[in-house]
Amino acid sequence: MDFQLNCPIPISEYPVITMAHGSGGVLSHQLIDKMFRPAFSNEQLDAGHDGAVLASGSGEMAFTTDSFVVKPIFFPGGNIGDLAVNGTVNDLACCGATPEYLSVGMILEEGLPMEDLWKIVLSMKEAAGKAGVSIVTGDTKVVDHGSGDQIFINTSGLGRVREGVRIDPSSCRPGDVIILSGYIGDHGVAIMSAREGLEFETGIESDSAPLNGLVDAILDASTGISVLRDPTRGGVATTLNEISRSSGVGMVLDEKAIPVRKEVQGACEILGLDPLYIANEGKLLVIVPESEAGRVLEAMQNHSMGTHAAIIGKLTGDHPSVVRMTTSIGSGRIIDMLTGEQLPRIC
């Protein structure tokens, strides 16, 4: 994507972020008035208050926050900006809520190229537009060169919980079915392929994307959903372990049913990693009673974000709080939580 064709960088006199851009003075205002406000423009933000004043309605709200410190900040398939929007949108969607408003806090390191910031802002604008959320308030700080790592972004989000929806892992029951929305490991492998010291050529792009449309389609198809989770850090294995432990129900996965792109599998084979533990940024795990699984799967497969959705396992009463997997050769083993970081093996 080349934003600069349509959107020339609005601040040309400063090629990089300086401490003065965080001073609260003229340059801070220039950053806000020329860059952030025009890009994210909406009624609440344009009002220019210290905070956004939002209309309240009846029903329940969901509220979440997430900070983004990804390195490198630009990677195949996205950058820290769209990731920061999608991450919070997805957390809201997984509460069964329709994401509505986001706040954006940016911590910029002195020396960050203005052009990079502009690319990030434009991709946030685009991601917010796709997800249908408004960025209604924000904050910017600048830290000395060496005190940050180019840019950190925090986003918080508010969403309205759909009426009648109750996402609650404690309602998981043995026999329920686990559905995964598509290929796993794309984001983590895309990031690794761009990281210093591990650079390798791959066509894999991050799957960073908003899930709220897919969640809407699922909730339209069934009112019996007990779990919606996006398996980000720690991957599918870690997320399923969390659900299994909090619900007290065991799980059995079918290795052959788990969608993994062959490029991702190849990279994992070479690096000695397991795709089950690799981060995703646009995938969804759904747990649903078996009687509604067919309908939900079909709804997911009919949505552009769930074309490759598959049933990957089910819940069991046999081994409470433990996740097991039937391997591709028919044997069984435990799938444990990730300890520390996954580190590439020696040989």
Partner 1 sequence: MKFVDEFRDIELVRNLSAKIHEITTKEWTIMEICGGQTHCIMRYNLEEFLPEKIRLVHGPGCPVCVTPLEIIDKAVRIAQREDVIFTSFGDMLRVPGSEKDLMSVKAGGGDVRILYSPLDAIKIAEDNPDKKVVFFAIGFETTAPANAMAVKEASRRGLKNFSILSSHVLVPPAMEVILSSEQNRIEGFLAAGHVCTVMGYEEYIPIAGKYRIPIVVTGFEPVDILKGICHVVMQLEEGRYEVENAYGRVVSREGNLAARKLLKDVYDVTDMKWRGIGNIPLSGFRLASKYGEFNAEQIFDVGDIVQQESPLCIAGEVLQGLKKPGDCSAFGRECKPEHPLGAPMVSSEGACSAYYRFKKTEGMET
Smallest separation, CB 330 to partner 1 (Å): 5
Smallest separation, CB 179 to partner 1 (Å): 24
Our separate counts of H helices and E strands in the chain read 10, 13
Closest CB to partner 1 among 287 and 335?
335
Question: Measured between alpha carbons, how far is residue 38 from residues 17, 119, 186, 281, 306 in Å?
Answer: 19, 14, 32, 27, 33
Phi-psi region of 234 (alpha: psi -120 to 50; beta: other; left: phi over 0): left
Smallest separation, CB 189 to partner 1 (Å): 14
Closest CB to partner 1 among 99 and 188?
188
| Interface ranges with partner 1 (CB under 8 A) | 196-198, 200, 262, 265-266, 269, 271-272, 327-334, 336, 339-340, 343-347
Given a contact cutoff of 8 angstroms between Cβ atoms, the answer to whether 94 and 233 are in contact is no
> Tokens 């997320």 belong to which residue?
239
Pseudo-torsion of CA 186, 255, 298, 83, nearest 10°?
-20
Closest CB to partner 1 among 34 and 319?
319
> Tokens 């900006």 belong to which residue?
81
The residues near 154 (Cβ < 8 Å, ≥ 6 apart) are 65, 66, 67, 68, 84, 103, 104, 105, 106, 107
Helix spans in the chain (H): 26-31, 37-40, 43-46, 80-93, 114-131, 186-194, 212-221, 235-247, 262-271, 290-301
Smallest separation, CB 327 to partner 1 (Å): 5
Closest CB to partner 1 among 190 and 288?
190
Residues forming a β-bridge with 333: 325
Closest CB to partner 1 among 32 and 338?
338
DSSP state string for 227-254: EEE---TTHHHHHHHHHHHHHT-EEEEE
Which sign does the torsion angle of CA 160, 96, 101, 152 carry?
Answer: positive
Closest CB to partner 1 among 99 and 235?
235
Smallest separation, CB 131 to partner 1 (Å): 34
> Tokens 């007990």 belong to which residue?
226
Retrieve residue 67's tokens: 């900070």
Closest CB to partner 1 among 63 and 200?
200
23 φ, ψ to 5°?
-80, -15
Roughly what angle, to the nearest 10 degrees, separates helices 262-271 and 186-194? 60
Smallest separation, CB 83 to partner 1 (Å): 22
Given a contact cutoff of 8 angstroms between Cβ atoms, the answer to whether 159 and 40 are in contact is no
Closest CB to partner 1 among 90 and 342?
342
Closest CB to partner 1 among 43 and 336?
336
